[in-house]
Amino acid sequence: MSAARVISEHHGGSRNFTPDAAQFMSDEALVAGAKMGHGSFFDELHERHRERMFRVAHRITRHREDAQDAVQESFLSAYVHLKRFDERARFSTWLTRIAINASLMKIRKNRVSREVGVEDIADAVEPRGCVPNPEEICARTEQEAALRDAIAKLRPTLRNVVELHDLQECSLHEIAEALGISVAAAKARLFHARAALRRTAKLKAAAQ
């Protein structure tokens, strides 16, 4: 069941509101109405922003079904937590952040659930005829796990950028568009994220 249908069925729309009129309302007005409990107002927000949110999610997940799931989860989350939206940022910016987090969470869940065999790792990281021994495979696995753990401990603004750039191979322009920031800001966040990861690695090495 779609997010829009769940929302409409929950509130039954607004008796004094015609869907056509919503097309001429600003996001701010629709958000205000939705906060008052009018499901039809949020339906219009869903219709207005769902395609852009899909593009954001698909750019991150690179998988159509995962992107669709992330978008559905994003709108449901936005609806549930709408009263917490303080309107200091634009609704589209707030919704984009939710979509990015939902998409990254989808990627993390897929990564955790995916089991990689020894042969798969060997094929992925070594040329044919040069298969690593079990100790090398174990070392690489530990290094990858340590990197994921270090990334997970970054503050959200830095973690999102490094995951998009290093794990999803998004360009700085794509990251900037997805996060609603400038390319310069995306580059700065990536720099700070990598610096933080290097500090973490040095501290861990010193402790061993």
pLDDT tens for the 208 residues of the chain, in order: 555 555 555 554 444 555 567 778 999 999 998 999 887 899 999 999 999 999 989 888 888 999 999 999 999 999 999 988 987 888 998 998 899 889 888 887 776 655 444 334 334 344 444 555 556 656 566 666 677 778 888 888 888 888 888 777 788 888 887 777 889 999 999 999 888 888 887 877 777 6
Q: What is the rounded distance in angstroms from the CA atom of residue 76 to the CA atom of residue 99?
A: 11
pTM higher than 0.75 for the full model? Answer: no
User: Could you give all domains of the chain from N- to C-terminal order, each with its CATH number?
Assistant: 1-114 (1.10.1740.10), 153-208 (1.10.10.10)
Of the candidates 29, 32, 11, 12, the one whose C-alpha atom is nearest the C-alpha of residue 21 is 29
Q: What angle do CA 161, 164, 170 make, to 5 degrees?
A: 120
The token duo for 195 is 């610096």
